[in-house]
Amino acid sequence: MEQTLESVGEELLFSARNELYMNLPYLDAALCALSFTPGDTLSLATDGATLRYDAAYLADRYLRSPVLVNRAYLHIVLHCMLRHVGKRRGKVAELWDLACDAAVESVLDTLDYACLRTAQAPARRKFYGECQRDMRVLTAEGIYRHLLRRNLSEFELGALRRQFFVDEHDLWERDSAAKQDERWKELSEKTQTAMETVLAGQATGGETVLEQVKAAVRDDIDYRAFLRRFAVPREVVSLDGNAFDPVFYTYGLRLYGNLPLVEPVETREERRIEDFVIAVDTSMSTSGELVREFLACTYAILRSTGTFTRKVNIRVLQCDDRIRADTPIHSLDELKACMEQFRLSGGSATDFRPVFEYVEKLRKEGAFHSLRGLVYFTDGMGVYPSKRPPYETAFVLLDEPPLSVTMPPWAIRLVLTLPSLERAAEPSGDWPEPDAMPEL
């Protein structure tokens, strides 16, 4: 009887995989990437290579509705595609598990296919709405930050876990699970390419999958190295050890007593940030907490050795549909005071054009000597200028914007995460050489 039940469980999984493939052909490689093994779990579990199942659990879900088996199978596959398995270490396990389950279920709840369609509980809709106040794409990382901020009680966490529970995550801690992360990254990249090109016409309704996959395969970018592209070469008073040969110096002292043949070079060329604009989107769709985190990390980077000149000309602008504040910065102390006393102003719709018009006005008035660039922290949704400005412009986002958002081709689009921002803000040595700059 036990063997028969296990065979039934395996058959249910094969059936679910086939039905999902017929409806979501762009997931073909991912749907076939797991082998099936019975036992070692009370529900479902995976280490990124094998899907372990409890046949009784699958049979119970199938008797309630075949759709539940389909959703459970895709739930597991999405965990792997979105690289939840390899990111658990270093996080609060119970919150990360809940965040991953909620992120995956939010994707399933948006897929309008008969094989996945179920009634959405009001508690789910309420939780999605709360999360969407802080983020546009419900990623596991974003939901995890949201849960950390809320500091929910055990009762509240238990209620949420019951809403989203489908599988067990104990196998995620195994070393074998971490080794599968690179394989799933490649599968996710292939899926993204398929959805955007060959199978674009068949991926209707899968926009949320594409948004999540794009966030999952995105590599962390060194924000510290990124800011360096806005620095200009300047000659500073400092001994340049690389341009000085001590052999001739000491030889001259020995030969003539107190006359070196060469003198040490007393200046050297460094790349420093001088003229710079930081623009902050203060519309209703931008979280004040994220803005302050971005500014704090940017300040920590700019004040680091080798970055900041003694005299700088930085303007911190706040804008929604018009300029709300302009704070000139001319020294490290002024920058520190600005960050400590920063208050958001505005709250209307987003229009990026006033910032560029205002900066152009400042340029014509001679407010900048050599403006190299502007960094605009925003959610990406707004009215963009049609003409490229005469300096580099980067739009920095902490989440992937909706697919409907189209940035102009001249804009640098940089999607960061809070952990990558915080790592960039940590003290480090000199700036990386130009060869180490990321391609953007």
The strand pair at 308-319 and 35-38 is best described as unpaired
DSSP 331: S
- Residue 79 amino acid letter: H
Positions of E strands within 25-99: 35-38, 44-46, 50-53
- The DSSP bridge partners found for residue 237 are 267
Is residue 208 within 8 A of residue 107, CB to CB? The reply is: yes
Mean pLDDT over 394-423 rounds to 74
Highest-confidence range of 11-20, 147-156, 224-233, 419-428, by mean pLDDT?
11-20
Q: What is the pLDDT of residue 37?
A: 92
Prediction pTM value:
0.61
Rounded CA-CA distance 93/101 in Å is 12
Residue predicted with more confidence, 187 or 424: 187
- Residue 221 amino acid letter: I
DSSP 202: G
Highest-confidence range of 2-6, 212-216, 259-263, 367-371, by mean pLDDT?
367-371
Q: What is the pLDDT of residue 61?
A: 94
The strand pair at 50-53 and 44-46 is best described as antiparallel
End-to-end Cα spacing for the chain: 59
Contacts of 295 (CB under 8 A, 6+ apart): 278, 280, 316, 339, 342, 377
Give the three-class secondary structure for 330: coil
Mean pLDDT over 226-241 rounds to 61
CA 280 to mean position of chain CA atoms: 18
**pLDDT greater than 50 at residue 56:** yes
Is residue 421 within 8 A of residue 291, CB to CB? The reply is: no
Q: Is 61 exposed, middle or buried (0-12, 13-18, 19+ CB in 10 A)?
A: buried
**pLDDT greater than 50 at residue 63:** yes
Mean pLDDT over 347-363 rounds to 89
Assigned token pair, 55: 């046949």
**pLDDT greater than 90 at residue 420:** no
**pLDDT greater than 70 at residue 205:** no
Q: What is the pLDDT of residue 348?
A: 74
Mean pLDDT over 4-26 rounds to 90
Domain boundaries, the chain: 2-217, 223-235+270-436
Least confident of 66-80, 180-194, 402-416: 402-416
Mean pLDDT over 38-54 rounds to 90
**pLDDT greater than 80 at residue 101:** yes
Instruction: Output the CATH code of domain 223-235+270-436.
Output: 3.40.50.410
- Work out the mean pLDDT of the chain and round it to a whole number: 79
- Residue 305 amino acid letter: T
Assigned token pair, 283: 């519309």
Mean pLDDT over 248-274 rounds to 63
Rounded CA-CA distance 26/323 in Å is 44
Band (pLDDT 50/70/90 cuts) for residue 402 is low
Is residue 30 within 8 A of residue 77, CB to CB? The reply is: yes
Band (pLDDT 50/70/90 cuts) for residue 73 is very high
Q: What is the pLDDT of residue 184?
A: 87
Relative orientation angle of helices 122-132 and 154-164, to the nearest 10 degrees: 110
Q: What is the pLDDT of residue 354?
A: 93
Q: What is the pLDDT of residue 224?
A: 73
Give the three-class secondary structure for 231: coil
Highest-confidence range of 63-77, 384-398, 404-418, 423-437, by mean pLDDT?
63-77
**pLDDT greater than 80 at residue 325:** yes
Band (pLDDT 50/70/90 cuts) for residue 438 is very low
Rounded CA-CA distance 100/78 in Å is 10
Q: What is the pLDDT of residue 67?
A: 95
**Which has the closest alpha carbon to 31: 103, 131, 115, 94?**
115
Least confident of 144-148, 218-222, 327-331: 218-222
Q: What percent of the chain has pLDDT over 70?
A: 74
Least confident of 8-22, 127-141, 170-184, 347-361: 170-184
Q: Is 34 exposed, middle or buried (0-12, 13-18, 19+ CB in 10 A)?
A: buried
The per-residue pLDDT for range 138-189, each reduced to its tens digit, is: 888 888 888 988 888 999 999 999 999 999 998 887 776 667 888 888 888 8
**pLDDT greater than 70 at residue 395:** yes
Q: What is the pLDDT of residue 201?
A: 55
Mean pLDDT over 294-303 rounds to 75
Rounded CA-CA distance 203/26 in Å is 7
**pLDDT greater than 70 at residue 304:** no
**Which has the closest alpha carbon to 278: 234, 326, 320, 332?**
326
Q: What is the pLDDT of residue 436?
A: 38
**pLDDT greater than 50 at residue 1:** no
Q: What is the pLDDT of residue 166?
A: 94
